Chain A
Amino acid sequence: MKPYLRFIAPLAIFAVIVGFLYKGLSMDPRALPSVLIDKPVPEFSLEELQSPGEFFTREDLLGEVSLLNVWATWCVSCRVEHPNLVALSRSNQVEIHGLIWKDDPVAARSYLKQLGDPYTSNGLDFDGRTAIDLGVYGAPETFIIDKKGVIRHKIAGPLSPEIIENEILPLVKKLREES
């Protein structure tokens, strides 16, 4: 072994380990890649929150780029993102649909009355079965769905104005241009 290699080899190994550890520090173990990206939204039929007797289904997602937001009144982070959803819906840039995950309709209605209702339609997933089909593991989660009803992106965790501005709106614009 050449003498300089004696010093460089351990240094290189050390650098590689530090590199991995540094990357690990900035990774969020809860942000899991969704296997449903580029897959069609699974079939579902959920009772409408605001008009009982009517159903919110997969068909309602077809024809226009939309967001599907999984939320619940028991979810604290949903309250954090709620004003951002309201602002987004007021700006009329994209339709937002809601999936109410294992919640009481009365509580959900009063929540929206109090904080504003950004949703075009809102499905009640009482037993969490549709959430399982969507691979939901926490609330809030937001899916971006294209005109054909295919899931194109998913954001786990509350939407911040930055995420909406930098991640969601550019993608919505791109998806709108698709035929």
Chain B
Amino acid sequence: MRTIFFTLFLLFACWSTSSFATLDEYHFDSEEQKSDFREVTEELRCLVCQNQSLAGSDAELAKDLQREVYKMMQQGKTKDDVIEFMVSRYGDFVLYEPPMKPSTYPLWFGPFFILAIGIFLLGRTLVKKKRSKEVELTDADQEKLAKLLSNTAENRDT
């Protein structure tokens, strides 16, 4: 029981430090600026702890980058400016959502391609099954079938 409580406590402790803790360090003139800042730092990946966003990370570098993002936004730079600034230094890797370009086409369209193959194979199998059901029995087949059925009936009787 104590372990469960401890785990819950740890989980909760992690939660409370994520995302919003960093916002208090900065002053924003408007709610809009604040939400823009939040949006950008959540779209950018922390390069030190790679599965965290800039907003959620407490790493030194993440803090430096947050400060840089804040400075740029205070200077009136747009979200796109900030993202371009980051990509020109750290590459597409800083983006959680990879951009659409030839080298990422397999990433974006690959799953749909595989889905299409799946649908095609499924369709083909279904059509085949349907066709095999529709096979008409010839008279000879009917006779054979009747014989087989009567055989099993006899077997059951004995």
Q: Which residues of A contact B (CB under 8 A)?
A: 29-30, 32-36, 102, 127-129, 131-138
Q: Are B50 and A132 in contact (CB under 8 A)?
A: no
Nearest A residue to B46 via CB reads A137
Once bound together, how far apart are the Cα atoms of A99 and B41, in whole Å?
Answer: 27
Given the interface pairs A135-B89, A137-B90, the reply to whether A32 lies near B64 with Cβ below 8 Å is: no
Q: Are B48 and A35 in contact (CB under 8 A)?
A: no
7 contacts between A and B (CB under 8 A): A35-B87, A35-B89, A35-B91, A127-B64, A132-B65, A133-B89, A136-B61
Once bound together, how far apart are the Cα atoms of A133 and B65, in whole Å?
Answer: 11
Given the interface pairs A135-B89, A135-B91, the reply to whether A32 lies near B61 with Cβ below 8 Å is: no
Residues of A within 8 A of B90 (CB): 32, 35, 135, 137
Residues of A within 8 A of B89 (CB): 35-36, 132-135
Given the interface pairs A29-B50, A137-B48, the reply to whether A34 lies near B64 with Cβ below 8 Å is: no
Q: Which residues of B contact A (CB under 8 A)?
A: 47-48, 50, 60-61, 64-65, 68, 87-91, 93
Residues of B within 8 A of A136 (CB): 61
Once bound together, how far apart are the Cα atoms of A131 and B68, in whole Å?
Answer: 12
Residues of B within 8 A of A127 (CB): 64
Once bound together, how far apart are the Cα atoms of A35 and B60, in whole Å?
Answer: 22
Once bound together, how far apart are the Cα atoms of A30 and B68, in whole Å?
Answer: 23
Once bound together, how far apart are the Cα atoms of A30 and B60, in whole Å?
Answer: 17
Once bound together, how far apart are the Cα atoms of A129 and B68, in whole Å?
Answer: 8
A150 CB to closest chain B CB (Å) equals 16
Residues of B within 8 A of A34 (CB): 91
Residues of A within 8 A of B47 (CB): 32, 137-138
* Most chain B CB neighbours (cut-off 10 Å) among A33, A132, A134, A136: A132
Residues of A within 8 A of B65 (CB): 132
Once bound together, how far apart are the Cα atoms of A136 and B64, in whole Å?
Answer: 12
Once bound together, how far apart are the Cα atoms of A128 and B91, in whole Å?
Answer: 18
Once bound together, how far apart are the Cα atoms of A29 and B68, in whole Å?
Answer: 25
Q: Are B61 and A128 in contact (CB under 8 A)?
A: yes
Q: Are A132 and B64 in contact (CB under 8 A)?
A: yes
A56 CB to closest chain B CB (Å) equals 20
Nearest B residue to A74 via CB reads B60
Q: Are B48 and A138 in contact (CB under 8 A)?
A: yes
Residues of B within 8 A of A30 (CB): 50
Residues of A within 8 A of B50 (CB): 29-30
* Most chain B CB neighbours (cut-off 10 Å) among A33, A131, A136, A137: A137
